[in-house]
Structure 1
């Protein structure tokens, strides 16, 4: 071993002597390494930086669906109507969609509005006003207090909490109206406005989504409290199969809105919305207002 070590030392001495006055091979090798490290960004011993796509992903805003169940003759309903109608106007349909659903034969209710309320509540306590913010995510039955300001604050706080939650799905839809109302039923004078709604649901989360369904509503608007945006047609649920990340589900609805008079379309503005709801938790994941 000592003999081998001496040979190596002697070899190093020979290399040094033979390269005196010139750069030795090891020195050149070290110099090249330093040069390559400095070249990309001008800093010694700093790893090179590779170009990356720094564009932020598409931002999908959360839209909150607020369902207010009311009935004519309810003494406390006007307070809830006033507060939520004011909030809906302030936020706009890009953030909050308000639907007023009448109950129990008050003249503005439908079979669908009564059935939807029963589906949400089940055997729990029933009564109006009853507010569902994104389905059963938040239920506010009755009034929080006697004053309007207190109820306004209570509703606003619940809505703001939902607006901060990132959506799991992206929802889009378009509507195609039939050019003319079509006769329907035994009465020839009874006419129906047919609207076709088509859209997609996309999973924008990183997890599988299940137990979901897409639904929609058509509501009418009148210039009086309680009829700001009252539901007239609720579509049946369309079940969504297990939805993988980045996968989409296509849906299609056909709505039929009765026109009692020829000038109904001028008197009452129609509103069209769709939403995705979990059938087990009854929470609404996302809503969309169709322009």
Structure 2
């Protein structure tokens, strides 16, 4: 019943936001962040998107630009492909029910609608994922806040798994460390739905995510299944600490995979 409600709400509100999000499809101007010396904070950008949504490609493109323009700052992008668009003509191969459920959790927490493309910044603010000006303003705000709980990450590839090691000083019982396996870039030739006939480019795709309680374990390891056709230069690990009661993200980092 919950998933059915998510699908219906997501599809309905996605249509409501289509006109607004499509307005952002005009050429994306270059973002001009302030210098790294002025920015001491961090930003976790969680984009909820779908290959079945015609309003989503501009948001995906904007994530690519932010990744390039803020590459030397503490900006962490995670793209979650939701599955409630899959019944409308095209099944997104990156989508999952877990991604949709995470978006629905944010919808309840932030008292927002569920739609695509939707962006959540540091677990506290939601925006249309293709609204460049609003996202840039949000970035400047959070990057100016120097608070960032340290998270140390490292990752190694073996024959069948990726082992990610973590260490943090956070011990809040209401917080968890979320560690995600991220594919940096991929593309799909879409054969149905609203984007039929288009080759879509995607960035920072969440493939697997583990949640770790920090109450008793501020140091340890998690394991991810090695993806098919894995190439270490196109994958990374992102970890962030989140209070599951408030949604606030208090620290984040990432690691290459050795």
TM-score normalised by the chain length of structure 2:
0.68
Q: Residues 154-211 of structure 1, C-alpha deviation per residue, up to 9 Å, x if partnerless? A: 2111011111112251111111221x23xxxxxxxxxxxx1111111125xxxx8552
Other-structure match for 1:98: 77
CA 93–68 in structure 1, closer or farther in 2 if over 3 Å, else same: farther
Other-structure match for 1:232: 207
Residue pairs, 1:21-36, within 5 angstroms: none
Aligned mates of 1:212, 1:165 — CA distance in 2: 20
Other-structure match for 1:198: 165
Aligned mates of 1:131, 1:172 — CA distance in 2: 25
CA 88–117 in structure 1, closer or farther in 2 if over 3 Å, else same: same
Other-structure match for 2:195: none
Other-structure match for 2:226: 257
| 2:125 aligned with 1:138 | yes
Aligned mates of 1:130, 1:121 — CA distance in 2: 10
Instruction: Assess if the C-alpha contact under 8 Å between 2:40 and 2:145 holds in 1.
Output: no
Aligned mates of 1:251, 1:159 — CA distance in 2: 31
| 2:44 aligned with 1:65 | yes
Instruction: Assess if the C-alpha contact under 8 Å between 1:220 and 1:227 holds in 2.
Output: no
Residue pairs, 1:47-196, within 5 angstroms: 61-92=40-71, 94-104=73-83, 105=86, 106-122=92-108, 124-135=112-123, 137-141=124-128, 151-178=131-158, 180-181=159-160, 194-196=161-163
Structure 2: any 5+ residue segments left out of the alignment? 1-38, 87-91, 188-199
Instruction: Assess if the C-alpha contact under 8 Å between 1:221 and 1:229 holds in 2.
Output: yes
Deviation at 1:124, TM superposition (A): 4.4
Computed over aligned residues only, the root mean square deviation of the Cα atoms, in angstroms, reads 2.6
CA 118–93 in structure 1, closer or farther in 2 if over 3 Å, else same: farther
Q: Indicate the structure whose relative CO is greater, using CA pairs within 8 Å and at least 6 residues apart.
A: 2
| 2:242 aligned with 1:277 | yes
TM-score normalised by the chain length of structure 1:
0.61
Runs of 4+ in structure 1 deviating by more than 4 angstroms, as ranges, are 223-226
Aligned mates of 2:203, 2:120 — CA distance in 1: 17
Aligned mates of 1:273, 1:88 — CA distance in 2: 14
Deviation at 1:252, TM superposition (A): 1.9
CA 152–252 in structure 1, closer or farther in 2 if over 3 Å, else same: same
Deviation at 1:62, TM superposition (A): 2.8
Aligned residue pair count:
197
Residue pairs, 1:33-44, within 5 angstroms: none
| 2:189 aligned with 1:220 | no
Other-structure match for 1:190: none
SS at match of 2:54: coil
- The structure number with the bigger radius of gyration is 1
Structure 1: any 5+ residue segments left out of the alignment? 1-59, 144-150, 182-193, 243-247
